[in-house]
Structure 1
Amino acid sequence: MELPRIPWEGGPDFWKKFAVAEAAGWSDPAFFPIMLWYGSPGNDEQLAFDKALGINTYVHGNPDSPSAGIQSHGMYTLFAPKDAPAGWANQVGTLLDDEVDGRYGTAEGLAHMEKLAAQYDPAVTGRFTYANWTSGIVSYDVAMTVSVNYYNTATVNSVDQYFYAVPQCDWPASQLRWRTPSGHNPIDQTNCRTASSYGKIMSLQQEINQARNIQGPLWALPAVISTGGSTGGYKQIGPEQVRAQVWSSIIHEARGIVWFSQSPDQQDVNDCISGDAFQDARVHATPCLKDQVAAAGEVNAEVRMLAPVLNTQSYVWDFGPGTDTMLKVKDQSAYIFAMTDDGGVGERTFTLPSGLAGSVVEVLNENRTLPVKNGTFSDRFDNEFTHHIYRIGL
C-alpha cells in the first residue's frame, strides 16, 4: 500500500540500542512489554500467577524480593533487588522517578531528572531509562518547552491519568485543562470518562515527541481497579473498561503496558483498597477486584498473541468519521484496530484504502466475518468501551 507511515522509533529494533534489554530478548518481534508498576515478586506462587496473566516485567517491587526467583521465572525488572549481583541481567531498564513534574518546581524537578539521567546513563549501564509523569505535563498549564525538557531526560516516558476512576471527569469544563490533540475534540465532560480519553493522552505525548524531534517509545498506564474505590467522587472500573484502556492506548501507538494495580487513595472510605490487586486476586480472591484482574489477563493474552503485528510500523489512513483506528500489515494481511472516537456508540462505516482488495473482513476473536461492498464495510460498537480487530487480505 502506497500510504504514509506514522513516526516510528524502530519498534523491536529500538531495544537493540541497549545491550541488557537486547540480551534479554526485548528486540524479539514477538515480545511486547507488559508490566506491573509495583508488583509482589517476592514468592514463586505470585511470580507464576503474574506470568500466567501475561506480566513479563516489574517496574518496581519490594527491594527485598529474591532476585533468584524473578530470574528463574524469566521475569524482568526496572529495579534491582537488594540481593541482585552486580550487572544482574534481568534488570533491563531503570526507573528514574515518578511524577516529578507534580512534586517539584520546574527548575528543581528538571535538575533532579537530569542528575538521575546522568547517573543511569544508558551508554554506561546498557539499560534504557523510564520516567512517569502526571497528566499536568500535557495540560495548557505547562509550556511545551517544559514538557520537552522533562521528556528528554528519559528513554521511555508515560503519563498516568485514570479517567474511568478519578473525580476530575466530573469537574466543570473550565477545570479540565488538558491540551487538545491535533485532529481530535478536547477531553471534556461529555467524553472524559470514556476509553477515548486514554488514546488522546497518548496522542498528546506523541506531540511532545514531535516537538523534541525524538520518537521515543511511550507506554500506557491503565489501572486494574479504581485508585479510590467507588465513593467520594471515585468510580470503580469494570472488566470491560479494564480492557478498553489498553486498546485505546495501543490504537494511539502505546509501545508497552504498565498496569497500575494499587488503590491507595481515600484510605478511610475506600471500599476496595489494595496494595496490589494481582496479589489480592490470588491470595484472597477479593470480590471487588478479581474480575478486573482476570480481564487484565485476558487483554494481556490478546496483546501477546498480536505482538508480531503490533511491533510493526503503522500506516496513516482515515477510515471514516467517528472511528478511532490503527492500520498495520503483517504477512500479507492488513489489521485494523478500531474503537469509536469521543465515546460514541452505534454503527460505523470503514472505507478501505485501495491496496486492500479482500471481499471479506474477519473479526478476530469474535468468530464472525463482514462483507466488503464497494470498498467499505460496516460494524456496530454497542458501548463506548467496545473494540474490534479486523483482518483482511491484501
Structure 2
Amino acid sequence: MADDRGTSRRRFLTLAAGTAIASGVAPVASARTAGMAGAPTSPTSPTERGGPMAPDPYARWENGPCPRPDPAYFPIGVWLQDPALAPQYQQAGINLYVGLWQGPTEEQLTTLAGYGMSVLADQNDVGLGREAAGPLVGWTQMDEPDNAQPLPGGGYGPPVDPAVIADRYHRMVSADRTRPVLLNLGRGVADDDWIGRGPDASLDDYPKYVGGADIVSFDVYPVADGLPLWLVAKGLDRLRAWCGRDKIIWNFVETTNISGNNQVTPHQFRAEVWMSLIHGSRGILYFVHRFAPEFDAARLLHDPQMLAAVTATNALIHRLAPVLNRPSLPGAVEVTGSDAAVPIDTMVKRLTGVTYVFAVAMRDASTVGHFVLGGAAAGASRVEVVAEDRTVAVSRGRFSDAFDGYGVHIYRIVHPR
C-alpha cells in the first residue's frame, strides 16, 4: 500500500515515533499508469454480491464486537487514533477504534471505556488482564504481513511467511477464545502490478494468510496512489473467495490525501464505501492520517468537507444497517447500462415488505442504468431514491436512472399489497 510518497501506514509509525519499525513495505511506485477505463471489473456475479451472510456473525465471541444479536449493529472504525478523540469520532458515526499506539495500556483502555468506544488492539498482558465488560472487543494481528519486510542491514526482503501468521493466530486464540482476531492485508490483495510485496511473493500466499484470523481486511487507497477506484471491489471479491463463509471481511477506505497531491473527494469517498458494501464488506475502517505537506494524525477531524461527507455516509450506513445485515437476493434485479464500458454493480436486500437495490457505477464516466425488478418488487409503481429526495417511475417492473461517473444510488421499493 506504499509508494515513494509514503502512503504506507508504517511510514506514519516511523514519522510519529522516529524509531525503527518491525515491518514495512518497500518505497516503490505502482506499475499501473493510464488506460484504466476499459479494464475489466471484478468477476463477481451480480447474484453473489453482498457476500455470504451469516446471521449475527459476531455472536460466536462472548466478548466480541456484538455478542448479542443486534440487526442494527454495523462496525465503522478508525485506525490508530488518540483515545481522547473518541467523542469527536463518535459524533461522526464511528463506533470502533482499531489499534492503539504502543498499547493497549491501562490508561488508553480506561479512556475508551469512559467514552463507550470499543477497540481492537494488540494482544498483551494488559489487554488479557482486563475484565470482560471493558472496551476491548478483539485482537489485531501483525499489520500487512503480505508486504515486503525491511532487512536489518537496509533494503527490503520477502513478505512474512504465512505459517508465521497462522502460528501467531493459534497462540492468540489459545490465550483468549472470547474475542476475534483481525488480520489486515495490503494493496497486493487487489493490485496485481504492486511490486511492494517483495521477492518470492505470490497470490497463492493469500489463502494461507487468511487462515490466521477470524476477521480479514485489506487496504488499497486508489485516489492517493493514482489507481482506479474499482480495485476496492476487486480486492473484496478476492477476499471473499479466499475466506469462504467462515470468516468476516472488512476493508479500509481513504479519507485524506495521505501524502501526495491527490485528495479523495466526497464523491469518490462515497463510491469507495458503497463499492465496499456492495462487494461484501461487513465493516468499514477509515484511514484518516496525513503525512504531507504537514503531519496530521487526525486529518479527517480537521477537514470540514470530508468530515461532513464521512458523517453523512456513516449515518446512512447505520440507518440501513438492518437492511445491510440481511441476506442478498439472487436474481432479484437485472441491470444493463447505456455504456457497456461502465458496468453498474448491484446488491439487493429485502426487509419487511421492502426491497432495496444498492447500485454503483464502476467507472469514472456517466451512464444510464436500465433495471428490471423481479419477485415481489416487480409490481411497484414507483421507486424512492434514498437520501436524494426524489422518486423514479416504474413500468411493468422496469425503470431507468442516470449515473454520474462513480455514481451511487440506493433504491427503496415498497411491495404492492
Q: What is the TM-score normalised by the length of structure 1? A: 0.79
Distance verdict in 2 for CA 1:248–1:139, change over 3 Å: closer
Partner residue of 2:98?
59
1:256-277 Cα deviation digits (max 9, x unpaired): 011011123xxxxx23542122
Q: Give the distance between the partners of 1:86 and 1:94, measured in 2 at CA.
A: 13
- Structure with greater helix share of residues: 1
CA contact (8 A) 1:5 1:313 kept: no
Q: Distance in 1 between matches of 2:388 and 2:254?
A: 25
Flag the 1:38–1:8 CA change in 2: closer, same or farther, 3 A.
same
Q: Does 1:118 align with 2:170?
A: yes
Deviation at 1:336, TM superposition (A): 0.5
Contact 1:220 1:246 in 2 (8 A): no
SS of match in other structure, 1:149: helix
Partner in structure 1 of residue 188 of structure 2: 136
Cα pair 1:362 1:391 within 8 Å, conserved: yes
The answer for the alignment partner of 1:183 in structure 2 is none
Residues 32 and 130 from structure 1, CA distance in 2 versus in 1: closer, same or farther, beyond 3 angstroms?
same
Deviations 1:288-335 (A, max 9, x none): x33112211111111011100001111123522232111000111000
User: Which SS does the other structure have where 1:77 is aligned?
Assistant: strand
Q: How far apart in 1 are the matches of 2:67 and 2:179? A: 13
Where structure 2 has 5 or more consecutive residues not aligned to the other structure, the ranges are 1-45, 150-156, 194-200, 337-342
- Relative to structure 1, the CA distance from residue 202 to residue 122 in structure 2 (aligned partners, 3 Å threshold; closer, same or farther) is farther
Counting aligned pairs with the same residue, the percent is 27
The match for 2:248 is 217
Q: Residue 174 of structure 1 aligns with which residue?
A: none
Distance 2:364 2:214 in 1: 32
Q: Using a 3 Å threshold, how does the CA distance of structure 1 residues 82 and 224 change in structure 2: closer, same or farther?
A: farther
Q: How many residues align structurally?
A: 341
Alignment of 1:109-258 (within 5 A): 109-121=161-173, 124-138=176-190, 140=192, 143-167=202-226, 169=227, 192=228, 194=229, 196-209=230-243, 213-230=244-261, 235-258=262-285
Contact in 2 for aligned 1:131/1:158 (Cα 8 Å): yes
* Cα 1:27–1:220 shift into 2, 3 Å: farther
Question: Which segments of 5 or more consecutive residues in structure 1 lack a partner in the other structure?
Answer: 170-191, 265-269
What is the TM-score when the length of structure 2 is the normalising length?
0.75
The separation in 2 between residues aligned to 1:163 and 1:371, in whole angstroms, is 35
Structure 2 CA distance for aligned equivalents of residues 309 and 332 of structure 1: 12
Is 1:37 aligned with 2:79? yes
CA RMSD of aligned residues (A): 2.5
2:386 aligned residue:
364
Q: Distance in 2 between matches of 1:28 and 1:143?
A: 39
